[in-house]
């Protein structure tokens, strides 16, 4: 199943009104009782305003309230189309690209991009991984920062990200404050259920994790080992890191530590639905 074509998107959402109606249906479609007069009621769209009104007491509900579009002056269809773009790319969407595709200012495009990334992360969620007998790959990487003039190997302003991937399941990534044992243990304890089998490389940060209620299987990259004979390894996460870095370096040039979690949420969302790209846009358009 592939994603919708641009043409299919505009057939489905030809106008701002069509987008608003979609929001109403998804969020309040089944509503039979008015929250104000408490009567079973039909709501109808108010002309020229993006709200729906109770047939009995004229109580108005805005389908946009509480969504990323609530305080935006950008037309709803542009927001929907921006989400479409985020679900049909592998490497992300730059603010420049949004500016061009949506005909909005750079500042607006930048804000829309970040709101959508944040929202994608929320929709993706972060339920704990693993459980008794379940394999979970754990691996860490350093992202961003500048190495200019500091000599090779300088990593002081890079950000450490830990990825945790349940076999045949979800991926969760988290920014940690340091690449050390305390951070690794903390992030694993808060995201991976006890009893899981943690698979890592030989990095010392994972040492003793088997004393915190997990089984621990190590692969030794230095010995040219990428999977143990039981198939354990961190190849899944390494593939994700490659994709993430291609996206960040190729599309965005620079991503600050402050905004990195939003990009992680975006790439995680796509990774977790990679086998059902046709569900990406519906997932985003139904979760409000």
Chain residues binding Zn ion by CB under 5 A are 34, 36-37, 54, 56-57, 59
The distance of closest approach from Cβ of residue 42 to Zn ion in the complex, given in angstroms and rounded to an integer, is: 10
- Residue 138, SS3 per DSSP: strand
The distance of closest approach from Cβ of residue 30 to Zn ion in the complex, given in angstroms and rounded to an integer, is: 16
DSSP H/E element including 79: helix 76-87
The distance of closest approach from Cβ of residue 66 to Zn ion in the complex, given in angstroms and rounded to an integer, is: 20
Nearest-angstrom CA–CA distance, 87 and 185: 33
Is the CB of 46 or the CB of 142 nearer to Zn ion?
A: 46
Task: Let me know: does 118 contact 145? Beta carbons within 8 Å.
Answer: no
Is the CB of 57 or the CB of 178 nearer to Zn ion?
A: 57
The distance of closest approach from Cβ of residue 58 to Zn ion in the complex, given in angstroms and rounded to an integer, is: 7
The count of residues in the chain is 288
Is the CB of 9 or the CB of 52 nearer to Zn ion?
A: 52
The alpha carbon of 115 is separated from its chain's Cα centroid by a whole number of angstroms, namely 11
Is the CB of 56 or the CB of 110 nearer to Zn ion?
A: 56
Is the CB of 9 or the CB of 24 nearer to Zn ion?
A: 24
The distance of closest approach from Cβ of residue 246 to Zn ion in the complex, given in angstroms and rounded to an integer, is: 52
Strand partners, 161: 141, 175
Nearest partner of 234 among 129, 136, 133, judged by Cα: 136
Q: What is the DSSP letter of 11?
A: H
């Amino acid at each position: 199943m592939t994603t919708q074509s641009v043409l299919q998107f505009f057939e489905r959402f030809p106008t701002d009104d069509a987008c608003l109606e979609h929001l109403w249906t998804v969020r309040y479609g089944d509503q039979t009782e008015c929250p104000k007069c408490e009567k079973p009621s039909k709501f109808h769209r108010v002309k020229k305003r993006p709200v729906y009104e109770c047939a009995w007491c004229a109580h108005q509900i805005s389908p946009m309230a509480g969504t990323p579009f609530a305080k935006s002056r950008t037309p709803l269809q542009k927001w929907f189309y921006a989400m479409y773009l985020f679900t049909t790319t592998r490497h992300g969407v730059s603010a420049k690209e949004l500016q061009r595709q949506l005909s909005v200012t750079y500042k607006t495009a930048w804000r829309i991009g970040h709101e959508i990334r944040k929202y994608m992360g929320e929709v993706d969620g972060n339920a704990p991984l693993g459980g008794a007998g379940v394999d979970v790959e754990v691996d860490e990487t350093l992202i961003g920062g500048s190495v200019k003039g500091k000599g090779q190997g300088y990593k002081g302003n890079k950000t450490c990200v830990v990825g945790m991937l349940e076999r045949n399941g979800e991926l969760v990534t988290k920014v940690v404050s340091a690449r050390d044992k305390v951070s690794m243990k903390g992030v694993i304890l808060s995201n991976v259920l006890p009893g899981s089998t943690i698979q890592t490389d030989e990095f010392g940060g994972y040492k003793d994790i088997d004393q915190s209620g997990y089984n621990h299987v190590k692969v030794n990259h230095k010995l040219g080992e990428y999977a143990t004979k039981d198939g354990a390894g961190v190849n899944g996460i390494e593939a994700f890191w490659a994709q993430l870095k291609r996206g960040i370096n190729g599309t965005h040039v620079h991503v600050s530590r402050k905004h990195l979690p939003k990009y992680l949420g975006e790439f995680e969302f796509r990774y977790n639905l990679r086998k059902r790209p046709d569900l990406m846009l519906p997932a985003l358009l139904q979760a409000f």
